[in-house]
Amino acid sequence: MAVWAFFGGGILSRYARPEKPYTRPTFFADSGEYFLRFVRLVILSILVYLALYQWVAAPLFRLIDRLTRDTPAEIPEMIYSGLVFLLLAFLLVNLSVAMDYAKIAMAVENRRSSILAFLRGLRFVFSNKLKSLGLYLLLILVGVILFGMYGLLAPGPNQANDFTLIVAFIGGQVFLIARLILKLWFLASQTMLFQSVTRPEAITAIGTPAAASLFLS
In the predicted structure, residue 140 carries a pLDDT above the cut 80: yes
Average pLDDT over residues 30-36: 87
Domain around 100: 2-216
Q: What letter represents residue 46's amino acid?
A: I
In the predicted structure, residue 123 carries a pLDDT above the cut 90: yes
Q: What letter represents residue 164's amino acid?
A: T
Average pLDDT over residues 109-131: 92
Average pLDDT over residues 28-43: 89
Structural domains in the chain (count): 1
In the predicted structure, residue 217 carries a pLDDT above the cut 50: no
State how far the Cα of 193 lies from the Cα of 171, in Å rounded to an integer: 32
Q: Which residue has the higher pLDDT, 120 or 150?
A: 120
State how far the Cα of 163 lies from the Cα of 199, in Å rounded to an integer: 52
In the predicted structure, residue 32 carries a pLDDT above the cut 90: no
How far from each other are the two terminal CA atoms of the chain, in whole angstroms?
23
3-state secondary structure 93-134: HHHHHHHHHHHHHHHHCCCCCHHHHHHHHHHHHHHCHHHHHH
Query: What is the model's pLDDT at position 215?
Result: 39
Q: Which residue has the higher pLDDT, 12 or 168?
A: 12
pLDDT in tens, 69-81: 877 778 888 898 9
Give the contacts of 103 (CB within 8 A, at least 6 positions apart).
8, 12, 38, 41, 117, 121
Query: What is the model's pLDDT at position 160?
Result: 59
Q: What letter represents residue 166's amino acid?
A: I
